[in-house]
Amino acid sequence: MFHLIWYILVGLIAGVIAKAVMHVHMTIFWTIVLGIIGSIIGGAVTHMFSRPANERYHPAGLIFSTLGAILVLFICYKLKIRFPHV
């Protein structure tokens, strides 16, 4: 149960930072979804290059989650995909 709350919290933080960087307005639900998708992308990239020592949390997790969310927003911008506005 704690992992689900942790994914939502990290997703929210990464989504808020990404949408602030890309100047996008969206609902809190889509912000969390964006952050979770960014976490999946960022986690895949970090696990390809270096494994975490404790197998639970990678030190660059939030940074790469945010970069993954920014990448998702950039791709959505290029493909002209729009999210529901606030």
Q: What would the pLDDT profile of 58-71 be if each residue is shown by its tens digit?
A: 666 788 889 999 99
In a domain, 28, yes or no: yes
Its pTM stands at 0.83
Task: Give the domain range for residue 46.
Answer: 2-78
In a domain, 16, yes or no: yes
In a domain, 86, yes or no: no
Residue 22 has pLDDT above 70, yes or no: yes
Mean per-residue pLDDT of the chain: 84
Q: What are phi and psi of 28, to 5 degrees?
A: -65, -35
Residue 74 has pLDDT above 90, yes or no: yes
Domain count for the chain: 1
